[in-house]
Amino acid sequence: MYKSILLLVAIVCSLPLASNAQQYLTREGHVRFFSTTPIEDIEAHNQQLTALLQADGAFAFRVPVLGFRFKKSLMEEHFNENYLESHAYPNGSFEGSISDFDAGLRNGEQHDVVAKGSLTIHGIVQEREIPSKVQWNGTGWDIESVFVVAPADHDIIIPKVMRNKIAQSIEVTVTATLFPR
């Protein structure tokens, strides 16, 4: 728990801060990933996403890899030990900004935006532009992103025997409501 808080503080400190800028935070965001092949569907959920959004659009999130839950415990074990190696790479993260983010988005409507920055999974950093939706709900920001991650892009090795069961592209969905800090 303390490592998670320290990592979030480190991410926050590395973001450019606007003076007197409002910040929005959650510690209860949701990440879902889904892999589908003709042989098997694999789905996991994680309710431990921590995210921070600043009024200037700077945005970061962190998700503990051990927080993903699967229907089958053996899948969860293989995910942590063999694929994501959660002992060596305990977190996935994104650090960047939401382009064109400003107070004008507070009209209560859902807006299409792009989050640009560094996505880190399995210790490998990839620069990404992630299509997202943001909406001011009257008390905070609802954020949703759906994007694809290729395990190969993050040096996640899929054994030959499992290649027909795990998709080459994994759909990732991130949803969170961030409230004023």
pLDDT tens, 33-92? 999 999 999 999 999 999 999 999 999 999 999 999 999 999 999 999 999 999 999 999
Q: What pLDDT was estimated at residue 16?
A: 46
CA triple 150-88-51, angle to 5 deg: 65
Structural domain includes residue 18: no
* CATH code at position 137: 2.40.128.110
Structural domain includes residue 163: yes
- 83/75 Cα distance (integer angstroms): 10
Structural domain includes residue 21: no
Instruction: Give the total number of structural domains in the chain.
Output: 1
Q: What pLDDT was estimated at residue 100?
A: 87
Which residues, 6+ apart, have CB-to-CB distance to 137 below 8 Å?
108, 177
Structural domain includes residue 149: yes
Q: Is the dihedral of CA 17, 15, 10, 1 positive or negative?
A: positive
Structural domain includes residue 103: yes
Structural domain includes residue 106: yes
Structural domain includes residue 49: yes
The whole domain housing 147 covers 2-11+27-180
Number of residues in the chain = 181
Structural domain includes residue 22: no
Q: What pLDDT was estimated at residue 11?
A: 52
User: 81: which DSSP letter?
Assistant: I
Asked whether the predicted pLDDT for residue 98 surpasses 90, the reply is yes
